[in-house]
Chain A
Amino acid sequence: MKKKTLFLFLLIGLMAFLVVGCGGTEAPAPAPPAGSGDGDAPKAPGFDGEIKLGFMVPVTGSEAPYGKDMENAAKLALEEINNNGGVLGKKLVMSTADDACDPQVASAAATKLISENVVAVVGGYCSGATLPTLKLYSDADIPFVIAAANSTQLIDANDGKAFMINGTGLHQGQKAVELFNKLDAKKIALVHQGDGYSEDLAKITGQLWKDAGNEVVGTEVVTKGEQNYSSVVTRIKSKNPDFVYWTAYYADGGLFIKQLRQGGYTGEIVVGDGSNDPKLLELAGKAASEGVFVTTNPLVEYMPVAKEFMDNYKAKYKQDPGPYSALAYDGIYLVADAIERAGGIDSKALIKALDDTADYKGLSGIISFNEDKTLVQSNFVLLKAEGGKWVLLD
């Protein structure tokens, strides 16, 4: 190697080490070690130390609005908990790491949180990104409360230290089948976006439908960002299903619904919880969105108990809470509750406390866990679009 190059290599190598070593954490001051409890942690006024949680959501990228919304709700929960004396007398704090809805970025985010010695992690919105982090948290003995991500693949990847508080793809598929039966459908078509979550939901629903002796006329895949779905629309239209189930996200979903109607499809349309957003209706337009169903976890608007949450969120953030805010809020509260029940932050005790959660009343529903750490009672409901707004069915 030439000397010039060698020198530069050395210089940059040193710089890199220094910068990475010092710039590893986002906070200007080193974070107080979580769980040391007594002498080491700086005393927050009135508190006996700190307990640190990790929060992993997409804060950048196309899913950022959801991630930010969840973060807002989580911070609200933190504030409330701390105003009520914290957890076991300690202040509850949270460190957010961005997973950008990408598996590699998520793994880096997970490692970062693990290195910050968080007591537990709440979060997970994109199933595909959340999947690889399960093993990372599990190997580090950190319980993970998965707030929104709900692909059934997560169940398979779960070593027993992750807890899914959103209804899974299975629950949702069942709800969809319920809807199909309600309206006497015989043939359905499924459309997904080729990512883990939407494919999972489509496959499960298809399987459930076929097991009941009915027909799936087609399972179509569209590319995210493609915008033009006319050929898929034509294909679906030519098979004449009673229902089309869009299991992917709202951005492309809005366009898809619009094009379905534009193309002359006259059957029913239902979307999955990934498309649960008033923006879906806006993008589809008033005409096309009329009568569209959605299988989703309950929106806070429909839960009287959540009114206070809604008002507080609105007051603090000057906007309405989004569809996953309740889950994020519940996630934080659940962990806080589990820490209190476990009497400390020891991971084994905490995991057991989470496992033992029985009939915990969260905003999003009643939380108890199965063997596979999914909800005992599905929280999915059906909504229908009327006049550009979602209205509760049932």
Chain B
Amino acid sequence: MKNLIAQTRLMDGIYKALDNKLIRYGVYLLLVTLVILTPLFANNYVLEILTNTWFYVVLCLGLNIVVGYAGLLDLGYAAFFAIGAYTTGILSSVFGMNFWLTIPFSIVLSGISGVVIGGPTLRLRSDYLAIVTLGFGEITRLVVRNLSITGGASGLIGINRPTVFGVYLSKINHFYYMFFILVLIAIFVSYRLYHSRLGRAWQYIREDEDAAEAMGIDRVKFKLYAFVIGAIFGGVAGSFFAIKMTAISPETFIFTQSAMILLAVVLGGMGKIPGVVLGAGILVLFPEIFRAVGQSRMLLFGIVLIVIMIFRPQGIWPDRRN
């Protein structure tokens, strides 16, 4: 680990520079430009990794609304991701629907499942909510594994990719930009939610439920909003996942997936968007960077995770409001 004092001094110097609003926006622009220009000099493998990162960023931002904003422990987030993916998959493969048309269906179905799952259960204590959400995650996975309309254990194959403004989405570049656009949308929505009345209500609920109740905030209703919005993020991400992979199977939606998404959110620093983005980045990049380590790479990941949590339990980049 770096020498913390030297690091702080360096950071102080740069903070002063970044105080300037112009420079700040300049940096945003720089980052976005970097991202846009990357396909010009990076190979397909790098683009694949980055596209995966964008994808997980969207998922993590979705879970962040549930866990980070509203403080609900969801251990079955992969269920929404699965619902979105299979909705698009089935409507597209079996009914030949245009991909863009499947998205509203995906939104509606994941939203409904959010209501169905959250409605009766959000009043439960957080640890019980955890097990219920875990249960739903497993139920969803088993349902898609058992039914033939979802392709059974082999899943759906041959999901058609769509055309955007005349471009048939097939190359990694296409998905790279497509997913990055999703990331921008997700960041925008998360940001607006955070600073909205809804976001503030969630914060009150998270910090002191009794006071929130006294102020007239209906806890269950607001938690449900968070849950449903999070569900929709997951569903939409799932739909795009389906067309990128063209083949989806139940194995992708196991409990480990939900745990990893949660891990990314907490590791990065819950609540705050940059933290979540960072967490998603680490989640995707770590196993790839350390592919050379071979078998022990997840072992290494576990160790690093423990170390980071011990030294920075609030996450690498937490919400300063906490």
A positions within 8 Å CB-CB of B: 1-10, 12-13, 16-17, 19-21, 23-26, 59-60, 64, 98, 102-104, 107-108, 111-112, 114-116, 127-128, 131-132, 135, 139, 151, 153, 156-157, 192, 194-196, 198-200, 203, 221
Contacts and interface: CB of A to CB of B under 8 A. Distances in A.
Contacts of A131: 154-155, 157, 247, 249
Interface string B269-309: 00011110110010001001101101101100000000000
Interface of A is mostly: helix
A199 B275 CA distance: 41
Contact of A153 (B27, B157, B298): B157
B34 interface: yes
**Which of the four size classes fits the interface of chain B?**
35 or more
Nearest to A132: B247
A13 B34 contact: yes
Given A16-B285, A24-B43, A3 B18 contact: yes
Nearest to A13: B31
A139 B245 CA distance: 12
Contacts, number: 147
B153 A4 contact: no
Given A12-B281, A64-B295, A23 B289 contact: yes
B11 A7 contact: yes
A102 B251 contact: yes
Interface stretch (B46-54, B115-123, B199-207): B46-54
Contacts of A4: 11, 15
A111 B251 contact: no
Interface of B: 11, 14-15, 18-19, 24, 27-28, 30-31, 34, 38, 41-46, 48-50, 52, 145-146, 152-155, 157-158, 170-172, 245-252, 272-275, 277-278, 281, 285, 288-289, 291-292, 294-295, 297-298, 317, 320
A194 B145 contact: yes
A103 B157 contact: no
A25 B289 CA distance: 9
A26 B34 CA distance: 24
B45 A128 contact: no
6 contacts: A1-B274, A3-B15, A8-B278, A13-B34, A111-B172, A128-B155
B46 A128 contact: no
Contact of A199 (B42, B44, B153): B153
Nearest to B277: A9
A231 B177 CA distance: 50
A9 B274 contact: yes
Contact of B18 (A6, A23, A156): A6
B48 A111 contact: yes
Closest 9 CB pairs of A and B: A3-B18, A199-B153, A196-B154, A115-B45, A111-B48, A115-B44, A132-B247, A153-B154, A115-B43
A103 B247 contact: yes
A246 B293 CA distance: 36
Contact of B24 (A6, A13, A60, A132): A6
Contact of A6 (B27, B45, B157): B27
Contacts of A195: 153, 251
Contact of B245 (A9, A10, A132): A132
